[in-house]
Structure 1
Amino acid sequence: MSRQFEGKVALVTGGASGIGAAACRQFSAQGALVVVADRNASAAEALAGQLDGAISCNVDVADPASCETMFSMLRDKFGRLDCAFNNAGITEVTVLKGEPLPETHMLPLDVWRQVLAADLDGVFHCLRGELPLMLESGGGAIVNAASLQAHLSYPRTAPYTAAKHGVLGLTRTIAKEYGNRNIRCNAISPGIVDTPLNTDVINSDEFRDALLTSIPLGRFATPEDIARAAVWLASDQAGYVNGAFLAADGGIMA
């Protein structure tokens, strides 16, 4: 594997598991100094311990003060930031802890607020810290985790769908605003990924077969499938890709 991120600093939020952990491993394998950032401090520390030159950071992206602490640490430790994958997020299922998804007019306000705080506000909080560091470093590449639901919608997923549409808008705005200062910003839109976040859905007798039928490739994505695409967007190989989204959905939107 090429070492195209040699000596570069790469931040991955939600980096301790699933897509984030796969991205941390791929950035590291290609030479990056990786910051494994996650709410789960012990899992982040464990993964960082497996990667050369990596460090962990306990962060809740929904909390602006927590993000400010993380970026202060990054500045003190490295003095630069070259790549960022804003991957951390939750779903309604996460908040409701397995309870049935209510219709939108019955959705508790705290569920709406928690999903938007993590999935949309969290990206904004991270951008506020990433952009100054990249400006000082002479540029960089940001990849935001959107979703299939940044383009499509499903019933009873109003908070997640709204948040991911917002992430796509943020991505395009940053791309236009900072592109002339050598900062690229793109989004990746995963389809249905076999991660702990989706376990209840993809293992459900009610949904599994219907979901698989909707995917032309006939399988769910692995975390590595999505991580490879995200890392490519952050690399110099995608050096003229800015303000775009990459659909890694097995062909669902086709």
Structure 2
Amino acid sequence: MIALRMLRRAAVAALAAGALVSTVSADTIYVDGAVLKPGEYQWQPGARLHDAVVAGQVSAQAWPLGAALLRQSAIEPQQRLKAGVLYELRANKLHARAENNPELQQLLERMESFVERLPVTGRVVAQLDPFQLLIASNNDLLEAGDELVYPRRPSTIRVLGAVASDCQLAFDAALRLKDYLRQCPAHPAADRNAVHVIQPDGTRERIGIAHWNEQQATLAVGAVIYVPVNPAALSPEARELNEDMAALLATQYSLGGRYSE
């Protein structure tokens, strides 16, 4: 087991090194998206989130709940997170093959292809509603190189992970978590006891969905539901897959709001 753990560390280090990008930036911040004055602004020590919001002039069409703070200091840890998820997917794929479980193997191959395409964003959870930033406790300090991106409000919910195929569903405030799950059939290898809900602000929570542990969950428009792989089907050496996958999805702000408009 010690040898396998050493192998995992070496594999993650190699994968992360292959994904490294420059994190060196000038003393600037950037504001983009649904703002009236997008662009680069000079960073000064002591500058705070509200200063960036005032400079960029967030538009009335912006959707602050899905806004993202992208931070250079978060890039390297997230590179390692993505590398770890890829390692866990590949280790579990080998385990599925050894266990003669082709359905699980195909699911993991699909998930691996999806993760390989995900960018390392540097997103960190932060309050970015301009009005909420008037409260001193919400108005965090900026770091040099920070980027604030404001999307427009979406109209969908996504369901990803151990499902027959990934789903993008119309949001309806009257629907419950289970209603969305019914619209997106689970994969045979899915965990039937819980899912991970990633809200558009990057917060996440594991929610029970079985009769014995069912919890109520409020889903905001733009949320992502990650359906985990059944833990019993995973390799003992890579059982952190579901938690790590949910953590990685929480950094993928573009899965929620309309950022391309």
TM-score normalised according to structure 1 size? 0.25
Higher Cα Rg: structure 1 or 2?
2
Give 1 or 2: higher helix fraction: 1
